[in-house]
Structure 1
Amino acid sequence: MLKCNGQDKPTLTISEYWDLKFDNQNDKGFDYYVDESKKLLENSIDLRLRSDVPLGIFLSGGIDSSAVVGLLAERVKEPLKTFSIGYDFGKGFDETPYAQIIADKFKTDHHEIKITPKQFKEFIPEYIALMDEPVTEAAAISLFFVAKLAKEKVTVALSGEGSDEIFAGYDLYQYMSVLEKYRNVVGQRGTNFFAGVANKTLGKSHKVSKYLTMATQPIEKRYKGMSTYPDAQKEALYKPEFKALMEQQEQVSSRQFSKQLFDKMAGQDQLNKMLYFDTKTWLVDDLLIKADRMSMAASLELRVPFLDYRLVEFAATIPSHHKIKKGEGKYPLKKMMEGILPNDIIYRKKMGFPTPLKLMFQNELRDYAETLLLSEETKLHQFFRKDRIEQLIQEHNADKYDHHKTLWQLVVLEEWLRKNS
């Protein structure tokens, strides 16, 4: 905002125009929250139907995009146009059969595409250019290809982004609750034990090390959003001088920002703290950037019904014990869609644009990654230890440990440095 008082020079000020407030102390009953959430979602979809151009839906076969199709199908006369993507790497990386179930049920005009490792690899430089920042979201590449497919038929598309952040859909939220229970039971001696085991697994298992490290800390310190990554794993890569610089910078930047977010949620329960944190970080800095950049790269307008501000604000009033119930996240949404979607779709495990990076780094991307990350021209070596990068590659190729997430992050950062240095 620019301000000018009399003869004074204009000054630039930054002010927050909206913030999410959690107030779920007054429990109005589970059925009330289901009914109101459905009304708000239907109204949100109605608003996003307003278009003078053809409209379609990104359909993954998960509950979020399927819910949009299910609620929208009865509102239109012509068959909905739906679009899906998958990889030919087996069931773990191909959701198109689930998408086809929804397409058949609601008789949509369905289109799907399978992309190859060769297409994935060739698109990486363009992905780096389109994202501007080194965003390490491999699913963004899948999103570009499905947006490109959709653009052949429509100009506007709807998607299911945001549902996990407002209704607590990620498994990580439940893992965190389990960790908190263990912390309360075992006390300080137990957390010291967790810390010792975490150090022994450093460099071996990203997932094991991550959760053991988390078990040693309170929620305000251990939770850094959906992209949570163990500090010890990162520091094992750092050169000593770079590690010292990062420690100095983090004291005044990211750590302070995280603290401010948790301070705002003082007095709230653990789930609300995580949902607020992810809404202010992961959602806006990863998911929506990915969705916006990749869809607009294909000249496609993307609309997200779950993120209508009224639905987001209402979801923040739903008590946490209603959002996660009987081991199921997004419980209000799941109950809302019973009778509309098949239960096999509603209650199946979340996948979300799965990308076979582990397999590709062992095969089609193997030589590319080695050359990019271990050559004399590699710019990452000014920050990271070359011997550690080489160790990660060797362990991954030998199928000793799964380092695909770290390798992908290094690849993206290296390509970005080469383009912008």
Structure 2
Amino acid sequence: MDEPLGAPSAIPLFFVSRLAREQVKVVQSGEGADELFGGYWIYHDQFEFGKYFRVPRPLRAAAGAVAEKLPPFHGRRFAMRGSGGPEKSYQRASMNYMWDEIPNVLRDYDGPCKPWEWCKPHFDEAAKQDIDIITQTQYVDMVSYMPFDICLKADKMSMSQSLELRVPFLDKKVLDVALQLPTACRVDDEHAKYALRVAASKLGFQKKVANMPKQPFITPLTVWLQTDLYYDRIKEAFTSEAAHEFFNVDYLVQMLDDH
């Protein structure tokens, strides 16, 4: 990787690239389809938050502040994430912790933790264009998650096998089409990548293929962490000198043991 990247799907991508290189020198890949055409669950999530944002912000902020002080309950994260603007609701399910849990993990933590601040400038820039929350979120993904995670790992894992990987969804002409689509053609209550799925149906793909539910490129981390091989390696890292410098080591080990 040449640099740290918290994207476990780089691992299967590495092996898929190795397998492909046994047969071909060039492949096409689907990077960009979700960001351009509205495929991620976070867009559906923002669709729901868009309704909640009709509640006056002071009321939402108060509800979030109360939720933050209460023990876990169904809807707690929604109230906390909905207490601010779209940059706060953008916090993904892939977050390992909600911000109020950080003191348990970090040693000598003096807060406050505001993980949404990194993406707020992007949302502010998108808001100037007078676009809805879903389109704002797609824009933020296009300028952050896509180039610094999605495309990065695809590029590096394919290059590691001397495999040329091309990304047709990121062709400028495709982007121009995506930018003209109304939001309802991308995301609504029932659909993600709606226009793209309709196009696939009309191009002759079987309906079950065109309407196939989105599936992540799964890396079985939860299973690996329950084996002695990886448990021992992770525990060694969690109890290292560096870990003691930055983290509450007992808390880390307890999470690992509980898993």
User: Deviation of residue 133 (structure 1)?
Assistant: 1.9
Alignment CA distance shift 1:159-1:208 (3 Å): farther
Deviation at 1:225, TM superposition (A): 6.7
Return closer, same or farther for 1:201/1:300 CA change in 2, 3 Å cut-off: farther
In the alignment, which residue of structure 2 is the partner of 1:354?
218
SS at match of 1:233: helix
Q: What SS does structure 2 have at the residue aligned with 1:157?
A: strand
Q: Which residue, 158, 170, 192 being the options, matches 1:295?
A: 158
Corresponding position of 1:216: 83
2-structure distance, mates of 1:331, 1:357: 31
Alignment CA distance shift 1:395-1:358 (3 Å): same
Q: Which residue of 2 aligns with 1:167?
A: 37
Taking structure 2 as the reference length, what is the TM-score of the superposition?
0.85
Going from structure 1 to structure 2, the CA distance change for 1:395 and 1:199 (only over 3 Å counts) comes to: farther
Shift of 1:199: 4.7
Q: Is the counterpart of residue 333 in structure 1 residue 196 in structure 2?
A: yes
- Name the structure 2 match of 1:176: 46
Where does structure 2 lack aligned partners over 5 or more consecutive residues? none
The offset of 1:381, in angstroms, is: 2.4
Matched position secondary structure for 1:302: strand
Q: Percent identity?
A: 30
Supply the RMSD in Å over aligned alpha carbons: 2.9
- Tell whether 2:123 aligns with 1:262: yes
| Equivalent AA in structure 2 for residue 358 of structure 1 | T
| Contact 2:29 2:167 survives alignment (8 Å) | yes
Q: CA–CA distance in 2 between the matches of 1:316 and 1:154?
A: 33
CA 169–310 in structure 1, closer or farther in 2 if over 3 Å, else same: same
Larger Rg: 1
Give SS of 1:359's match: helix
Equivalent in the alignment of 1:395:
258
Superposed displacement of residue 367, structure 1: 2.6
Q: Distance in 2 between matches of 1:133 and 1:209?
A: 35
1:388 offset after TM fit, Å? 2.0
1:3-402 pair list within 5 angstroms:
131-185=1-55, 188-189=58-59, 191-200=61-70, 210-223=77-90, 230-240=98-108, 243=110, 255=117, 258-266=119-127, 267-339=130-202, 340-363=204-227, 365-374=230-239, 377-396=240-259
Kindly provide the amino acid, as one letter, of the partner of residue 341 in structure 1: F
| Alpha-carbon distance in structure 1 between the residues aligned to 2:121 and 2:133 | 16
Name the CA distance, whole Å, in 1 between partners of 2:178 and 2:212. Answer: 22
* CA deviation after TM superposition for structure 1 residue 350, in Å: 1.1
- Larger strand share, 1 or 2: 1
Distance 1:156 1:235 in 2: 47
Cα distance in 1 for partners of 2:101, 2:3 equals: 22
How has the CA–CA distance of structure 1 residues 261 and 193 changed in structure 2, closer, same or farther, with 3 Å as cutoff? closer
Change (3 A) 1:270 1:143: same
Q: Is the 8 A contact 2:11 2:219 kept in 1?
A: no
Cα offset, 1:208, TM superposition: 6.7
Whether the aligned pair in 2 keeps the contact of 1:160 and 1:305 (CA below 8 Å) is: yes
Greater CA deviation, 229-238 or 333-342? Answer: 229-238
Distance in 2 (alpha carbons) for counterparts of 1:318 and 1:212? 31
- CA deviation string 1:106-126 (max 9, x = no partner): xxxxxxxxxxxxxxxxxxxxx
| Corresponding letter in the other structure for 2:232 | D
Structure 1 gap segments, 5+ residues each: 1-130, 397-421
Residue 184 of structure 1 deviates from its aligned partner by: 2.6
Counterpart Cα distance in 1 of 2:92 and 2:180? 21
Counterpart CA distance in 1 for 2:144 and 2:92 is 7
Q: 1:274 to 1:225 in 2, by over 3 A?
A: farther
Closer/same/farther in 2, CA of residues 170 and 162 from structure 1, 3 Å limit:
same
Tell me, what secondary structure is at the counterpart of 2:16? helix
SS, match of residue 80 in structure 2: helix
Higher relative contact order structure (alpha carbons within 8 Å, sequence separation ≥ 6) = 2
The one-letter code matched in structure 2 to 1:363 is T
Question: 2 CA distance for matches of 1:323 and 1:277?
Answer: 16
Q: CA 1:269/1:188 → structure 2, altered by over 3 Å: closer, same or farther?
A: same
